[in-house]
Amino acid sequence: MTRTMTGRDRFLTAVRREQPDRTPVWFMRQAGRCLPEYRELRKRHPFLEVARTPELAARATLMPVDRFGVDGAVLFADIMLPLESMGVPFEIQPGVGPVIADPIRTAAAVDAIRVAEPEEGTPYVLEALRLLRRELDGRAALLGFAGAPFTMACYLVEGRPSKEYPSTKAMMYGEPELWHRLMRAITDTTILYLKGQAEAGADVVQLFDSWLGLLNVSSYREYVQPYTTQIFTSLKGIVPTVHFSTGTVQLLEAIGETGPDVVSVDWRLPIDEAWERLGHRTGMQGNLDPARLMAPWESIRGAADDILDRVDNRPGHVFNLGHGIMPQTDPDKLARLVQHVHLGSAR
């Protein structure tokens, strides 16, 4: 067996597609409502106050590292935070999600969007990363993130969570020139934001394109892919990158072309099949169904073993869920799952 690595080494080795001592693990939405200590913190502070106060954000980030022993510490923040620096006020409504009172639907609104440096627009995000880099001291890789242009455009144009995002698609198909201007502004902000996070100490950055599954491949290529590609190209050599989406079986090859170091997939395809479709040119993150965690341990273990069997020690795997932890998940099962993946993949 190889020397035991720190969580950070394990994660970064996998991202380079070399062989770590065991498979690194983290969970989408690990710092959130499934943890009693997080719910306690939230009784005293509203969500955005936690996200905008570096000491509180750092505390929430460390909770799942302490409790689950995960190899990745995802910054406690939200994809909506940079909107403030873009001049777009928003709120997060409990049980609803992000809401923008004045959605961006006109040329005047698109042209009013500012592209700001993160030091000026979201200094608290950078400060939280600096604090965490010191506190983690290699225990886990520090993960920064941003919303991808398409998913950000969905919130900006629709103004609130939606199933189909009809206003967003109406702009994309009906006013393509305006759409491209909007995507350009979001892309420019995102590049500055992620570069700032890397400078402040993020080891890896993840780009969340949560609503990408709404598109077919030709729309993706025309309206979205160039922007995603530009983001990953700008970060090459600066910080390793992960592309995240769900429900995108139809887009996998096109996502691979955008140039991330790792592609995160949900549970809809077996992980080996998804990796094969990507031509094994990237690392692979995933892909347990978060609802599986509602089942008894034997069922969870079986599904985790199936993922490890399919990966079959191919270097470049980061174990994760296909989407976020559900708030009703039993945290003890998550801790057990981390141990199980570590033991089951020990090399």
The answer to whether 241 and 232 are in contact (CB under 8 A) is yes
Chain residue whose CB lies nearest ligand CP3: 210
Residue 29: active-site member: yes
- Among residues 155, 165, 220, 227, the one annotated as catalytic is 155
Reference 215, options 268, 269, 173, 276; nearest CA is 173
Interatomic CA distance for residues 106 and 332, integer angstroms: 48
Residue 193: active-site member: no
Pair type for strands 241-245 and 204-209: parallel
The nearer residue to ligand CP3, 145 or 165, going by C-beta atoms, is 145
- Residues near ligand CP3 (CB under 6 A) are 28-33, 42, 47, 74, 76-79, 92, 94-95, 97-98, 145, 208, 210, 324
The nearer residue to ligand CP3, 210 or 345, going by C-beta atoms, is 210
Residue 309: active-site member: no
Q: What are phi and psi of 147, to 5 degrees?
A: -75, 145
Over its C-alpha atoms, the chain yields an Rg (Å, rounded) of 19
Residue 312: active-site member: no
Minimum CB separation of residue 205 from ligand CP3 in Å reads: 11
Interatomic CA distance for residues 63 and 127, integer angstroms: 18
Minimum CB separation of residue 174 from ligand CP3 in Å reads: 24
Q: What is the dihedral of CA 253, 256, 258, 261, to 10 degrees?
A: 180
Residue 17: active-site member: no
Interatomic CA distance for residues 110 and 346, integer angstroms: 51
The nearer residue to ligand CP3, 242 or 304, going by C-beta atoms, is 242
Show the tokens assigned to 84: 């403030």
Residue appearing with tokens 């969500």:
47
Minimum CB separation of residue 280 from ligand CP3 in Å reads: 26
- Among residues 8, 10, 38, 78, the one annotated as catalytic is 78
Reference 85, options 185, 8, 180; nearest CA is 185
- Among residues 16, 17, 29, 336, the one annotated as catalytic is 29
The nearer residue to ligand CP3, 74 or 192, going by C-beta atoms, is 74
Minimum CB separation of residue 147 from ligand CP3 in Å reads: 6
Helices (H), ranges, 159-216: 166-174, 176-200
Interatomic CA distance for residues 23 and 6, integer angstroms: 12
The nearer residue to ligand CP3, 92 or 335, going by C-beta atoms, is 92
Minimum CB separation of residue 226 from ligand CP3 in Å reads: 21
Residues annotated as part of the active site: 29, 33, 42, 78, 155
